[in-house]
Copies of this chain bind each other. A is one copy, B any other.
Amino acid sequence: MKHNKEFLKRIFETIELSSLRMTQKRERILESLLALDRPVSASALRDLAGLPETDLVTVYRTLEAFEGIGIIQKIPLEEMGCLYELTETNDHYHHFVCRECHRTERLDLCLEDELGARAEKLGFTEVSHLMEVYGVCGECKPETD
């Protein structure tokens, strides 16, 4: 699912309205995220952006900055680390994630309202939620049959 114009427009608007500065590195990172259109790890993103010399710290800070303005979503892996994905401003997605290669498929389902309502009933505020499905994808699955 490639990004449509509306999506791009909102991303750029959000950045404009923020106090973030668009450096070359950030442009490359943003471009890669846009082109990729799926979650990646910080270090994979550095490579994909063609910035192998750039310190990972910079990538992390960029992702943190983007997350701060609501255009990046963090997806935890089962074992360790996480993936980062460009999202509609302050929206989010859920995924099927391959344990082996970290390939993801978007999950077209979100229980936000349901969970939010239940959480509030229990006295929770500032509610967010996590829902990810892990498995071994077709390409990683050993042919043992």
Interface centre among A96, A107, A114 (most CB of B within 10 A): A96
Q: Check A130 against B132 for contact (C-beta < 8 Å).
A: yes
Question: Looking at chain A's contact residues, is the secondary structure mostly helix, strand, loop, or mixed?
Answer: strand
Instruction: Please determine whether A125 and B135 come into contact, CB atoms closer than 8 angstroms.
Output: yes
In the complex with contacts A119-B133, A135-B119, A125-B107 CB distance below 8 A: no
- Map CB proximity to B onto A95-135 as digits: 1 under 8 Å, 0 otherwise: 01011000001010101001100110011111111111111
Instruction: Tell me how many residues of A have a C-beta within 8 Å of chain B.
Output: 31
Distance, CA A76 to CA B128, complexed state (A): 14
Stretch of A4-12, A16-24, A44-52, A136-144 lying at the B interface = A136-144
A123 to B143, alpha carbons, bound, how many Å?
13
Evaluate contact between B127 and A135: CB separation under 8 angstroms. Answer: yes
Contacts of A118 in B (CB 8 A): 96, 107, 109, 133
In the complex the two chains form, is B98's CB within 8 Å of A124's CB?
yes
Selected contact of A76 from candidates B76, B98, B126, CB within 8 Å: B76
Complex CA distance for A109 and B114, rounded to whole angstroms:
10
Interface residue ranges, A against B (CB under 8 Å): 76, 78, 96, 98-99, 105, 107, 109, 111, 114-115, 118-119, 122-138, 141
